[in-house]
Structure 1
Amino acid sequence: MKKRSTVLGIDIGGTNTVYGFVNNETEVCFSEQIPTHGSLPISDLLDRLQSGVAKFFDQNPHLELDGIGIGAPNGNYYTGMIQNPPNLSWGNVNIISEMNKRFGCKVKITNDANAAALGEKHYGIAKNMNDFIVITLGTGLGSGIFSSGRLLYGHDGFAGEMGHMPIKYGGRLCNCGNRGCLESYVSASGIRNTIREFLNQDPKNEFLIDVYGEKIDGGMLDDAFDSGNQIARKIYEYTGEKLGQGLAQAATLLSPEAFIFYGGFSNAGDRILKFAKESMNQNLINDHSERIRLLPSGLPQGKAGILGAASLILFD
């Protein structure tokens, strides 16, 4: 019996990595999330991926691997490298070479936010858009930019690093080593920094003590915001203000039809995006303000990265 081909899409994040298999009908037929463990060597993650992939094919002997697409922080489409990802301790890794040793098939890589943008373009709400920007909100902040129907890589493969645009001179120290980057204000780590600053101003506030001790995934803040907690509102208002400033810079330069938000904190939806929209409009020239939409991803959580990464092979 002739085996059917499948493509492996891998979405590497600062906290978790999601991988899945995409069939010829461009459906995700299996997916799994595993911890990234970015403080350990990348070989630890690749060994666990290899084990999971081997188990999948043991259970699905009618399938064969046609190729692997990877979305990763600082993944470079041109060089095949993951280059000094700011929230991971791997340094420079030739991920194409490492994956070829393990799997012996075609492998392509791009930035994780670029992969999410490809997912939205081929499978999501951006199917009929030519100019849009996907913003990934998680441990850090990434962006994938489509302009005139094409994904922008720039001359060296690093176009679209919105998370490291400076929005405050001399501001917070970012994991990249610079100060005042958008990511240091708008991300899980950025919101945690905001909570810590609020706590320094009001060290006996029980809500701030509790929320600072929680894993920052938006859930507790969302509940507090929805119940009318004014501190939660101020945290999201400040985060949205900084996000809007970054969006205004990008919109002025690129004139997108929409910003599409994907990742853990995109679930906060209007709680952040309402403030971001107001801030963006305040910082835009009038002709831009009302025609740029802020939209949540149209793909299921965890699927945009897989589909986008797989599309590097499927739409080669």
Structure 2
Amino acid sequence: MTEDSLKPYVIGLDLGGTNSVFGIVDSRGDIKATTSIKTQGYGDNAEAYVDACVEALQLIIDQVGGIEKIKAMGIGAPNGNYYNGTVEYAANLDWARNRVVPLAQMFSDRLGIPVALTNDANAAAIGEMIYGVARGMKNFIVITLGTGVGSGIVINGQLVYGSDGFAGELGHVIVRREDGRTCGCGRKGCLEAYCSATGVARSAREFLANSNEPSLLRDIDPEKITSYDVSIAAAKGDKIANEIYQFTGKMLGEACADFATFCSPEAFIFFGGLVKAGDLIMNPIKKAYDESVLGIYKGKAKFLVSGLDGASAAVLGASAVGWDIQEK
């Protein structure tokens, strides 16, 4: 009997700014069991976060026959360093905002299995390349639109990590140098400050404050408006909500036109909660890209939405990182 048959599963963790989603995955990419917890609520105590994760994990580990059936674990996390297995100065994580957290080692110590970690958007890119709409592609960019804006860049069939594991932070390209919004990273004018789900909510508050136009969004406490509220209002034809998506999509499209210059991708693949707005966000992105992109790239890149449901791309991508541990 082979080791693979004795340990047929890996754990994949998609560690988002809001939720942490776990999946136990077999070698075919079938997710056998899932669970999730809130990522925040532990203050600056990373140990407490890991303890909560392990407690939640135990239930689904038992469902598949116990930890002896688990070969390894892979994690996709914001500011995840593939080389070191650490989460470093992650602006959207209270327990890693001002420190380096050896998260892979912490999980390995508690679970007794090998653990590898990569950037969350890189994990989504791996998931798309193996299981999703990027199958067969060797040059593409996955852009994740969630609590923050992340990116996974694949060139010539390989993920771009750079010299220190942190290459490809396209969410922190500065897109507004004059009076740019403060980003969670501490700088001003980052793409993430405008085009993340939290950025869209900030845009809603600004648009409402600067206009007397009637809007369904005025029925909501401005501080409680979410990107989901904006999408609902836009789908109902709300003028301000649609202007917010036009503004957001234009900024994303222009940024993608800049991104094309360094890797000439076959496709931009969008993933995350904001993408659920569909054409409300995708059409402005495509329009702005076509108007802004350098002529030699015009008409070449596809604009696609993730082919995997919910957090599946990132969970499957993270699990692939776990399988890869055994191949080193």
TM-score bucket (shorter structure): over 0.9
Give the whole-Å Cα distance in 2 for the aligned partners of 1:266 and 1:45. 28
* 2:302 matches 1:289: no
**Correspondence 1:146-225 to 2 at 5 A:** 146-170=154-178, 171-202=180-211, 205=214, 207-211=216-220, 212-214=222-224, 216-218=226-228, 220-225=229-234
Picking from 85, 89, 107, the partner of 1:84 is 89
Letter in 2 for 1:298: G
Give the whole-Å Cα distance in 2 for the aligned partners of 1:155 and 1:75. 14
2:208 and 2:240 in contact (8 A); partners too:
no
Picking from 48, 62, 70, the partner of 1:58 is 62
Q: Percent of counterpart pairs with the same letter?
A: 40
**Correspondence 1:264-275 to 2 at 5 A:** 264-275=273-284
Give the whole-Å Cα distance in 1 for the aligned partners of 2:212 and 2:238. 17
Provide, for residues 36-57 of structure 1, a one-character-per-residue CA deviation record: whole Å limited to 9, x for no partner: 1155222222112111222223
Structure 1 residue 198: deviation in Å? 1.2
* 2:121 matches 1:113: yes
Letter in 2 for 1:93: V
Does the C-alpha gap of structure 1 residues 203 and 227 become closer, same or farther in structure 2, counting only changes over 3 Å?
closer
Give the whole-Å Cα distance in 2 for the aligned partners of 1:269 and 1:289. 22
Picking from 139, 145, 161, the partner of 1:137 is 145
- Count of aligned pairs between the two proteins: 315
1:229 maps to 238
1:10 maps to 13
Give the whole-Å Cα distance in 2 for the aligned partners of 1:210 and 1:286. 44
Structure 1 residue 100: deviation in Å? 1.8
1:32 maps to 35
Structure 1 residue 215: deviation in Å? 5.1
Give the whole-Å Cα distance in 2 for the aligned partners of 1:229 and 1:203. 13
Give the whole-Å Cα distance in 2 for the aligned partners of 1:204 and 1:287. 41
Give the whole-Å Cα distance in 2 for the aligned partners of 1:253 and 1:186. 21
Give the whole-Å Cα distance in 2 for the aligned partners of 1:306 and 1:222. 25
> Unaligned stretches of 5+ in structure 2?
none
Does the C-alpha gap of structure 1 residues 301 and 277 become closer, same or farther in structure 2, counting only changes over 3 Å?
same
* 2:50 matches 1:46: yes
1:38 and 1:88 in contact (8 A); partners too:
no
Give the whole-Å Cα distance in 2 for the aligned partners of 1:58 and 1:112. 26
Provide, for residues 240-272 of structure 1, a one-character-per-residue CA deviation record: whole Å limited to 9, x for no partner: 011112111111121101000111011112111
1:302 maps to 311
Query: Which is further off, 36-45 or 264-273?
Result: 36-45
Structure 1 residue 139: deviation in Å? 0.5
Tell me the C-alpha RMSD between the 2 structures. Answer: 1.9
Give the whole-Å Cα distance in 2 for the aligned partners of 1:221 and 1:289. 31
2:135 maps to 127
> Unaligned stretches of 5+ in structure 1?
none
Picking from 21, 25, 46, the partner of 1:22 is 25
Give the whole-Å Cα distance in 2 for the aligned partners of 1:223 and 1:188. 14
Give the whole-Å Cα distance in 2 for the aligned partners of 1:121 and 1:20. 18
